[in-house]
Structure formats: C-alpha cells, structure tokens
Amino acid sequence: MGRKRVIDQQAILDAAERVVGRDGAANLTVEAVAKEAGVNKASVLYDHKSKQALVEAVVDRAFERDTAFHAGIEEQIDGPEDRAIKGRILATAEPPPEAFKAVALNLSATLALDEGLRRKMQESQARTIARIEETSPSPRGALLAYLALEGLKFLEHLDFHHFPREDRDRVLREINWLVTAQPGEIDLRGVKAG
C-alpha cells in the first residue's frame, strides 16, 4: 500500500496565482510554483503535467470562482427579473482588491495570446450575455448595462483608471438605471466622424 497523497492542489494553484501576479504568466514555471508552494517539482507535475496545464488550471479555477461568486450574489436578489445583470452590478459594488489586479492583468494577457484559453473566455462571456438577455424584460438595456459594467471593470482590473469612490458609486447607479432602459433605433448614417 502506497503513501497517502497530502499535497493540497488548491495550495498549488494559490502559489501559481502568486507567481502569475508577481512574475507574469509568461514567466511562470513549474519550478517557481513548486518553490512558492514549498513542495517539490514532482508534486506540482503530479496533477499538472506541464506549464500550460498549470496555467489552464489557474484560469479554470478563476472561472469557477467567478461563477460561484456571482451565483451567490444572485441568490440574494428577489425575483427572477434582471437577476443576472443586477447580480453583476452588486458584485462590482466594491473595487477589485489590489492584490488581484496584477493577477488579472497577467491572466488577461495570457487569455489574449492563447487561443484555447481565449475560447474559454468567449464561451463564458456568451453564457453570461445570454443569461442577462434571457432574464431581463429589457434585454437591450440590460446588455448596455453589462457592457458599461465590463468597461468599468476593465479599467479597474487592468489598472488603467480608478474613479474616486463617490464618482464610482454614481457610475454604478447609472449603470443600474440602464438595466431597464428601452433604447430606440439610432440612425448611424447621420453620425459623421470629426
């Protein structure tokens, strides 16, 4: 009978996230993760056969956490109408933690460069957009609210811009206002560039 395996895979993925945040996903190595986790390289390779598999596991866990986080917020909302978009808005009430920004920035670069990982993000976004539109009496308004919300998150997570708290709260209230908006038709042929 062999020894019982005691390596905590969540601890390995936590270590991988720290390496990604500190050094970037392009510089992530199995050795760096093993050192960060305080285990030997074989322990990391037991479940993650390569650097690519390790990066995919970090990304997959980020998607799983995001899904679970938003599901928990949505459970707090009364009624099914606009639950998906209102949950997203509530989830954004607090700016992202500083420690997460470096991880988000480095994982975003990896998602952009890796076709398989980018496909996972595209599928996740497609599911989210479909849920938002399906649960809203004003699908176009809810979609516009989601696009505005994602723009805010993009600016913050990638450390491009940060609104003062009062302005940020106002932006979120205005995004919430968009949820029930009934956008009319706009004739873009009459819009002229500069």
Per-position pLDDT tens, the chain of length 194: 455 455 688 999 999 999 998 998 888 899 999 999 999 999 898 889 888 899 899 989 988 998 999 999 999 998 889 999 999 999 999 888 887 778 888 888 888 888 999 999 999 999 999 999 999 999 999 999 999 999 999 999 888 999 999 999 999 999 999 999 888 765 666 655 55
Residue 40 neighbours by CB under 8 Å, 6+ apart: 34
pTM, to two decimals: 0.81
Q: What are the tokens at 56? A: 């995919």
The structural architecture, per CATH, of the domain 9-182 is Orthogonal Bundle (1.10)
Residue 91 is which amino acid?
A
Token pair of 30 as six digits = 């199995």
